[in-house]
């Protein structure tokens, strides 16, 4: 899935705000975490499982047809912050990206659900530079009323199952859907992903990654276009435990590597609390 989880159009330059850690390789964040979750400081948790799911689209995409402009997914974690995979946005200018909160059908001729907002800043954790934290926070131009997804505590362990939501293809080189789809996931031993990573010369970071395979009832694996999309726990209240990052293939029997959101909890809280001066300095990309 290493290729299938790459962003669909990683072709734009990027100006990002660097937080004391940097994430720079393709990964697919898959959420895990069953319980013990808590909201970021000062923010509510819970809400409908899918209303916090976000489609990332090119800002140049026409209003009535976002399908061709969609390149990654994300999840609302505060009323003006979207969590996604770093490899989706680190080479893109913030102004070239729009976030559609609560999106579903992205094709022409349909009513585009959700609220479309410009991204004004990208925040990366410092570990991005070491290739260990494939995560980024996008600051939106305005606040939304949608209830953010809940966040795991920093000490939460991975749950047994979760569900990934996004607009990924139905196989490598396959067809992308108009509507948001879901993939049930089952978390497996980290060793399976460690072997897959070493086979393609990637360094495993088990403390910051989750390993999963499609669960019962799945008709596809996470794939191209799903990068950055959230993995949510089941139940009435949505907790994002992972983000789609990458994998060796899109085969339904293959493993996928996901960002472990619990490992980012302290960083996310600092950004939510407005400590951007602690995070790093803003850099301006090409116009």
Of these residues, 87, 98, 205, 245, which one is catalytic? Answer: 87
Q: How sure is the predictor about 235, in pLDDT bands with cuts at 50, 70 and 90?
A: low
In this prediction, residue 245 carries a pLDDT of 94
In this prediction, residue 128 carries a pLDDT of 54
Higher pLDDT, 109 or 170: 170
Of these residues, 98, 104, 134, 269, which one is catalytic? Answer: 134
Across the range 138-151, mean pLDDT stands at 95
Tokens of 118: 């410009």
Q: Which of 14, 30, 26 is nearest to 285 (CA)?
A: 14
Higher pLDDT, 205 or 88: 88
Per-residue model confidence as pLDDT tens digits over 253-273: 889 999 999 999 999 999 998
Q: Tokens 């992972």, residue?
A: 242
Strand 209-214, strand 181-187: pairing:
antiparallel
- Is residue 134 flagged as an active site residue? yes
In this prediction, residue 54 carries a pLDDT of 97
Query: What are the sequence ranges of the domains in the chain?
Result: 17-278
Q: Among 137-151, 163-177, 259-273, where is mean pLDDT lowest?
A: 163-177
What CA–CA distance (Å, rounded) separates 172 from 244? 15
What CA–CA distance (Å, rounded) separates 155 from 268? 14
* Domain 17-278 classification at class level: mainly beta
Q: Which of 152, 164, 145 is nearest to 268 (CA)?
A: 152
Q: Among 196-205, 213-222, 239-248, where is mean pLDDT lowest?
A: 196-205
**193 φ, ψ to 5°?**
-80, -30
Of these residues, 37, 96, 227, 263, which one is catalytic? Answer: 227
What CA–CA distance (Å, rounded) separates 88 from 40? 23
Higher pLDDT, 41 or 224: 224
Q: DSSP assignment, residue 49? A: T
Q: Among 84-88, 255-259, 280-284, where is mean pLDDT lowest?
A: 280-284
Q: Tokens 């980012």, residue?
A: 264
What CA–CA distance (Å, rounded) separates 222 from 229? 9
In this prediction, residue 192 carries a pLDDT of 85
Alpha helices in 84-219 (DSSP H): 86-89, 190-199
Across the range 144-172, mean pLDDT stands at 91
For residue 113, CA distances in Å to 48, 68, 131, 230 come to 15, 16, 35, 18
In this prediction, residue 21 carries a pLDDT of 29
In this prediction, residue 35 carries a pLDDT of 34
For 91-120, letters b (16+ CB in 10 Å) and e give: bbbbebbbbbbbbbbbeeeeebbbbbbbbe
Using a pLDDT cut of 90, give the percent of the chain over it: 49
Across the range 87-102, mean pLDDT stands at 94
Higher pLDDT, 230 or 274: 230
Q: Does residue 285 surpass a pLDDT of 50?
A: no
Per-residue model confidence as pLDDT tens digits over 15-60: 444 333 223 333 333 333 333 344 443 333 333 568 999 999 999 9
- Is residue 60 flagged as an active site residue? no
Tokens of 120: 């004004």
Q: Among 124-128, 193-197, 208-212, 248-252, where is mean pLDDT lowest?
A: 124-128
């Amino acid at each position: 899935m290493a290729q299938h989880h790459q962003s669909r159009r990683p072709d734009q330059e990027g100006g990002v705000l660097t937080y004391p850690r940097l994430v720079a390789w393709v990964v697919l964040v898959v959420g895990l975490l069953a319980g013990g979750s808590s909201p970021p400081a000062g923010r509510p948790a819970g809400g409908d499982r899918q209303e916090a799911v976000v489609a990332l689209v090119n800002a140049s995409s026409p209003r009535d047809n976002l399908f061709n402009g969609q390149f990654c997914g994300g999840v609302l974690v505060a009323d003006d912050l979207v969590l996604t995979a770093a490899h989706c946005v680190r080479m893109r200018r913030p102004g070239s990206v729009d976030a559609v909160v609560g999106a579903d059908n992205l094709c022409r001729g349909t009513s585009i659900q959700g609220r479309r907002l410009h991204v004004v800043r990208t925040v990366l954790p410092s570990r991005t530079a070491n290739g260990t934290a494939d995560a980024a926070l996008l600051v939106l131009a305005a606040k939304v009323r949608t209830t953010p997804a809940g966040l795991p505590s920093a000490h939460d362990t991975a749950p047994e199952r979760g569900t990934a939501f996004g607009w990924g293809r139905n196989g490598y080189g396959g067809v992308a859907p108009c509507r948001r789809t879901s993939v049930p996931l089952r978390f497996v031993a980290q060793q399976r992903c460690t072997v897959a990573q070493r086979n393609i010369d990637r360094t495993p970071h088990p403390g910051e990654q989750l390993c999963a395979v499609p669960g019962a009832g799945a008709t596809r694996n996470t794939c191209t276009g799903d990068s950055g999309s959230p993995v949510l726990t089941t139940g009435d209240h949505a907790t994002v435990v992972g983000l789609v990052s990458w994998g060796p293939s899109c085969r339904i029997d293959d493993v996928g590597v996901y960002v472990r959101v619990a490992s980012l909890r302290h960083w996310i809280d600092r950004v939510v609390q407005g400590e951007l001066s602690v995070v790093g300095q803003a850099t301006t990309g090409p116009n």
